[in-house]
Chains A and B, each alone.
Chain A
Amino acid sequence: MKKWLLSALSLSLLTVLPTVVCVAETADNAKVAPPASTKAPSPASLEKTAPLVNAKAAPLTSRDNEETTPVETPEPCEGMPQTVKVEHRVQEFLTCEVIQVLAQPGSVESFRVKPDPDPSWPEKNRLGDYPIIGEAEGGKGRNLTDAEVKDLQKLFFAESSYHFGMEKRCRFRPDTGLHFVKGNQSVDVLFSFSCDLWLFVHKGKEKLEDFDPVHKKLLTLRNALFPPETSTDEN
């Protein structure tokens, strides 16, 4: 009798245990963000890179992931020209500090960048965390014209240029970047055409969003700055 009970109990335990173990395994997975790949630049490539005017600190955060919730209309940013209209959702996303630089830049430089971040590069040789490709390899483009800047500002400041409240499941791997300078302030804007994402970097803080609706317009600008035959194919 005891033997029967004992064997039944053992069998039951043997049958139940695997399921219990599996459930525990599912619940206890540790979660740590994977580290960014780091590649040290060669001294030769450092010499060739185009130096930047304003140094930038390491980025802190990634994407605007918060839900889109209706909020009160924000006050327009100070010191903005009457002709520049920034839609409310865009103002919340970019913040006035960034908008003030994007709206009235003294100059806008263009660069080709490596698709993987590498904070070990000197700040003057990267946009955000993304190393600038050497000048000899076509990494430095021309400055944007006034007309190009105006067109770009219209795209930056229109809510319809973005996909707020959702994200895409492909990685941000930029190939082109712009450096907006206004006095001692600067904003970097990086473009990932393989995932239609743009990243705004100001004082080390990153803001990532989709630009799907204006893909073609940005591509036209990119191709004007860096004609396709000289563009990288690293994405």
Chain B
Amino acid sequence: MKNEHRQRKMPFLVCLITLFVAFPMGVSAATLHAIIAVDTEDGTIGPSVRVDLGKMQGLVNNISQYTGLATAGRAISGNELNRRNIMSAVEGLSVGSDDVVLFYYAGHGYNPSETAWPAMNLSGDDLPLKTVRETLKAKNPRLLIVMADTCNAPGSGGGFDARDAGKANNYKVLFLKYRGTITASSSEPGEYSYSNATIGGFYTNAFLNSLTTELVSNQTPSWDAIMERANAPLNNGSQHPQAKVDVKLIGGAIGNNPDDCRNPPNCNGSPVFSAPADNMGTCQKRYRRGGKKCCLDQQGKEHCWSLTLD
């Protein structure tokens, strides 16, 4: 009789074990796709980029651990870092409707004009950040974060610690309860992006500090608050990060008040922080023309950008 009872219970237990393994923390079946493209071997910025890589890997691990999102990560670095490999990883992603996609780039970059977003300066062909965003956006992930810690100037071309885990609940709100797209870069058009071998990219550090602040907060965490704080000027005001936050909270927040939104005008809208300012690093003359901000560089060449983030 006992054996019969055990045998009847066994399939149920097996199912439970399987479910536990398949969906850790019983939260989500969704996946966090992380593509981290980093110029770790560059003779100039390699050491600081390696710091960024370590921090971003720590972040991905934490997100996975505290949200239950499965991780599908890919780091592209060293001599693998080129347009073909990045686009191959981006185009090859199979994204579910509840998935989160994080694209992060740290390396050389410049502004190709006609857009506020930088292009990645890769060996061989360069790659605009916007191309990556549009390709990923077309896959319709629930939440898409595209960011680059790189220069955005015209031309040719103690921070986050993985142990500062934050509250699991806050990870869940930010990565499971938001829908939309966040695009960010470490500097505005016409500006450089700075780093050093101790803290890595100044912007990556600022972003992760801002994220950590939100993760340990007792209030409902908000992407608007994270990106607004991360957009504070860096390097004595010579570097102004920029972000377009086009996300909204979906459903009820987990364990917190879903109506607790600290930036009421931005709760359901698409706030645009930090439109290009009047301090383009390499511009000799600045002016506005046809709804665009333009500058003449030292060689008399004109560069124009949209006044709003595209």
Please report A residues at the B interface, Cβ cutoff 8 Å: 1, 4-5, 7-8, 11-12, 15-16, 18-19, 22-23, 25-26, 29-34, 61-63, 65, 67, 115, 163, 165-173, 193-196, 208, 212, 215, 219, 222-223, 228-229, 231-235
Given A18-B72, A166-B235, A223-B298: 15 more A-B contacts, CB < 8 Å: A7-B14, A8-B14, A26-B36, A31-B41, A34-B41, A115-B156, A168-B45, A168-B151, A169-B108, A169-B201, A170-B109, A170-B150, A173-B156, A194-B155, A235-B156
Q: CB-nearest residue of chain A relative to B11?
A: A4
B196 at the interface (CB under 8 A from A): yes
Residues of A within 8 Å of B76, CB to CB, are: 29
CB pair A167 B45 closer than 8 Å:
yes
Q: How far, in Å, is A234 (CB) from chain B's closest CB?
A: 7
How far, in whole Å, are A4 and B74 apart by their CA atoms in the complex? 34
Tell whether, in the assembled complex, residue B22 and residue A25 are in contact, meaning their CB atoms are under 8 Å apart. Answer: no
* B40 at interface by CB-CB < 8 Å: yes
Return 14 A-B CB contacts under 8 Å, by A number: A4-B10, A8-B14, A15-B21, A33-B79, A62-B43, A166-B194, A167-B44, A168-B151, A169-B106, A170-B150, A170-B155, A195-B153, A219-B284, A228-B299
Q: B48: CB under 8 A from chain A?
A: yes
Q: How many A-B residue pairs have C-beta atoms within 8 angstroms? Tell me.
A: 166
Whether B192 pairs with A33 at a CB distance below 8 angstroms is: no
Partner among A171, A223, A231, A233 whose Cβ is within 8 Å of the Cβ of B108: A171
Alpha-carbon distance A167/B41, docked complex (angstroms): 15
Closest residue on chain B to residue A25 by CB atoms: B74
- Considering the chains assembled together, what is the distance between the CA atoms of A166 and B301 in angstroms? 29
Q: Tell me if B71 and A23 are in contact (CB < 8 A).
A: yes
Contacts of B70 in A (CB 8 A): 18-19
- A169–B107 CB distance below 8 A: yes
Q: A26-B73, A63-B44, A231-B299 are in contact. Are A168 and B192 (CB under 8 A)?
A: yes
Q: Of the candidates A15, A22, A31, A169, which one forms a contact with B151 in the assembled complex, judged by CB atoms under 8 Å apart? A: A169
Cβ contact within 8 Å between B79 and A34: yes
- Given A166-B196, A170-B153, A195-B155, A62 contacting B44 (CB threshold 8 A): yes
B282 within 8 A of A: yes
**B residues 106-143 with Cβ under 8 Å of A?**
106-110, 121, 123
**Chain B residues near A26 (CB, 8 Å)?**
36, 57, 73-75
> Which range holds the interface residue count of chain B?
35 or more
Q: Which residues of B contact A19 (CB under 8 A)?
A: 70-72
A167 and B196 contact, CB distance less than 8 A:
yes
Instruction: Give the CA-CA distance A171 to B18 in the complex, in Å.
Output: 51
B197 contacts which of A65, A172, A231, A232 (Cβ < 8 Å)?
A: A65
Indicate whether B238 reaches chain A with its CB closer than 8 angstroms.
yes
Q: Are A235 and B77 in contact (CB under 8 A)?
A: no
B156 near A63: Cβ-Cβ < 8 Å: no
Residues of chain A lying within 8 A (CB to CB) of residue B154: 194
A61 contacts which chain B residues (CB < 8 A)? 43
Across-interface contacts of A18 in B (CB, < 8 A): 70, 72
Are A15 and B22 neighbours in the complex by a CB distance under 8 Å?
yes
Contact B43 A33, beta carbon cutoff 8 Å: yes
